[in-house]
């Protein structure tokens, strides 16, 4: 068994800036046995090399369904099966059904509405002269888009945000479980209301109606699971992609000046943020379905494996000068949206929202600058982002 590296020994600095730690680990090898900091606090294998991470993301021997691992809490029991906890052939079936409803045409049709919401938020924010960018802009944009897309009625956004934050950046195991259970209850009611109301021209209504050629449909549990995944993944990651893009530009004045001078560079700035400071630090857990080796390291059957997306993005073997932020960089092949059959279904929507948000913000607030230090970095090893970002203009 490989030596155990206790990440808690790196202290609070690891949460704020994990990149030097990942660089140190990469220098020692692409795969390590680690103990995660609290609130997770358990042991896992961590893949930190780009090539190894890319291969692991597409390796069918690394299962997403934790059900076969004794003692593992099964999200499926509370929420229902969804894409991030399913393997082929079940994953193949679920993804085919969801992509029938969540089409490229449906995402592209959102472009005018995304722009409208962006402008309305800035109309409210800009006269104030200063704001917390997360609260005033980066959070309400994607949550409004995904709620409208799914057909979620106006609801208590503060309560939903609390549940959602606890799911992706848990403060403890019990609090995390309670948040998942509360979301399950809410989504069950929402789906029942949708069924009772009849056909609706929204994504959740389309998922309820979607039928494959052989008559296959999503079960009640699968519908709840997919609604859970789309709601959580559909806004939490984009909140932090927008925030991280702005934060990174504001702390790199030369690159900010270049993007301001040529707003066509916004797309490159978003892609470089995905590589340099992406919103998903590590992919959700996989489990060794059989004994295997990654870069010569033996992984026993049943062991959890965490694949470092942030670590892979800073691998100097893949990207020259990986710690330099450069909106002109060719970022093709970055792993911020994953790779293989679990590649992020919502990547086109996330890109649309982030590009629209960044381009419009820089155009309408040419004097945008930091107004103090950012809030604390989110806990846990899943989401990479700050709780607040004070800005002025």
- Residue 7: per-residue pLDDT: 95
Range of weakest confidence among 87-91, 99-103, 137-141, 256-260: 99-103
What is the per-residue pLDDT across 57-80, written as a single tens digit (0 to 9) for each?
999 999 999 875 554 555 677 788
* Residue 66 to residue 117: CA distance in whole angstroms: 39
DSSP-based three-state secondary structure for 218: coil
Q: Tell me: the pLDDT tens digits for 28-60? A: 999 999 999 887 778 999 999 999 999 999 999
Sign of CA dihedral 111, 116, 121, 123: positive
Does residue 224 have a pLDDT over 80?
yes
**What does the DSSP assignment read for 91-158?**
HHHHHHHHHHHS-HHHHHTTHHHHHHHHHHHHHHHGGGSEEEHIIIIITHHHHHHHHHHHTPPS--HH
In this predicted structure, the answer to whether residue 213 has a pLDDT above a threshold of 80 is no
Short-list 289, 294, 302, 259, CA closest to 71? 302
| Higher per-residue confidence, 133 vs 151 | 133
Query: Can you say how many angstroms the Cα of residue 372 is from the centroid of all Cα atoms in its chain?
Result: 26
Query: What pLDDT digit, counting tens, does each position of 158-174 carry?
Result: 677 778 888 887 787 78
Residues 6+ apart with CB under 8 A from 280: 237, 309, 310, 336, 382, 383, 384
* Averaged pLDDT for residues 320-348: 97
Spatial distance between the Cα atoms of 384 and 226, rounded to a whole number of angstroms? 23
Do 133 and 358 meet the contact criterion of CB atoms below 8 Å apart? no
| Nearest one of 381, 262, 359, 393 to 310, comparing CA atoms | 381
pLDDT at 196 over 90: no
Alpha carbon 127 to its chain's center = 31
Report the half-sphere exposure of 323 (CA within 13 A, side-chain side): 7
Q: What band does 364 get if pLDDT is binned at 50, 70 and 90?
A: very high
Res 301 pLDDT > 90? yes
Residue 183, SS3?
helix
| pTM of model > 0.85 | yes
- What CATH code is carried by the domain that includes residue 112? 1.10.630.10
366's CB contacts (< 8 A; 6+ apart) are 260, 393
- Position 205 scores a pLDDT of 87
Q: Are 246 and 386 in contact (CB under 8 A)?
A: no
> How many domains, the chain?
1
Name the residue range of residue 223's domain.
4-392
Proportion of the chain above pLDDT 70, given as a percent = 96
Lowest mean pLDDT among 62-76, 143-157, 362-376: 62-76
Paired with 392 in beta bridges are 130, 369
205-213, Cβ contacts within 8 angstroms, sequence gap of 24 or more: 205/151, 206/100, 206/101, 207/97, 207/98, 207/101, 210/97, 210/98, 210/100, 210/101, 212/93, 212/96, 212/97, 212/100
Exposure string (b/e) for 136-147, b if CB count within 10 Å is 16 or more? Answer: bbbbbbbbbbbb
Tell me how crowded residue 359 is: count the other CB atoms within 10 A of its CB: 20
More confident residue, 239 or 190: 239
As beta bridge partners, residue 60 has: none
């Amino acid at each position: 068994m490989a030596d155990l590296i206790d990440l808690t020994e790196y202290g609070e600095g690891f949460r704020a800036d994990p990149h030097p730690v990942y660089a140190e680990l990469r220098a020692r090898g692409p795969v390590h046995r680690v103990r995660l900091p609290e609130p997770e606090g358990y042991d896992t294998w961590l893949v930190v090399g780009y090539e190894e991470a890319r291969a692991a993301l597409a390796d069918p021997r690394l299962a997403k369904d934790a059900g076969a691992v004794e003692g593992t809490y099964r999200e499926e029991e509370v929420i229902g099966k969804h894409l991030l906890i399913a393997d082929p052939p079940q994953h193949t079936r679920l993804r085919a059904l969801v992509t029938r409803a969540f089409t490229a045409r449906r995402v592209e049709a959102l472009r005018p509405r995304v722009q409208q919401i962006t402008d309305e938020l800035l109309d409210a924010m800009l006269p104030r002269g200063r704001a917390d960018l997360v609260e005033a802009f980066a959070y309400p944009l994607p949550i409004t888009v995904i709620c409208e897309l799914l057909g979620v009625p106006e609801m208590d956004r503060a309560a939903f945000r609390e549940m959602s934050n606890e799911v992706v950046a848990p403060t403890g195991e019990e609090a995390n479980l309670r948040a998942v259970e509360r979301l399950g209850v809410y989504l069950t009611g929402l789906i029942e209301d949708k069924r009772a109301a009849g056909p609706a021209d929204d994504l959740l209504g389309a998922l309820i109606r979607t039928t494959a050629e052989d008559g296959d449909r999503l079960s009640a549990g699968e519908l709840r699971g997919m609604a859970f995944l789309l709601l959580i993944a559909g806004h939490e990651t984009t909140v932090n992609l927008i925030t991280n893009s702005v934060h990174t530009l504001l702390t790199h004045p030369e690159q900010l000046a270049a993007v301001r001078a040529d707003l066509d560079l916004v797309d490159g700035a978003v892609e470089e943020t995905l590589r340099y400071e992406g919103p998903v630090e590590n992919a959700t857990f996989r489990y060794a379905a059989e004994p295997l080796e990654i870069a010569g390291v033996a992984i026993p059957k049943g062991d959890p494996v965490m694949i470092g997306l942030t670590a892979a993005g800073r691998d100097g073997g893949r990207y020259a000068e990986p710690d330099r932020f450069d909106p002109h960089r060719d970022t093709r092949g970055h792993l911020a949206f994953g790779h293989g059959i679990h590649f992020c279904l919502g990547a086109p929507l996330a890109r649309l929202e982030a590009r629209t948000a960044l381009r419009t913000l820089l155009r309408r607030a040419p004097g945008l600058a930091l107004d103090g230090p950012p809030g604390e970095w989110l806990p846990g090893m899943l989401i990479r982002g700050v709780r607040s970002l004070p800005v002025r203009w």
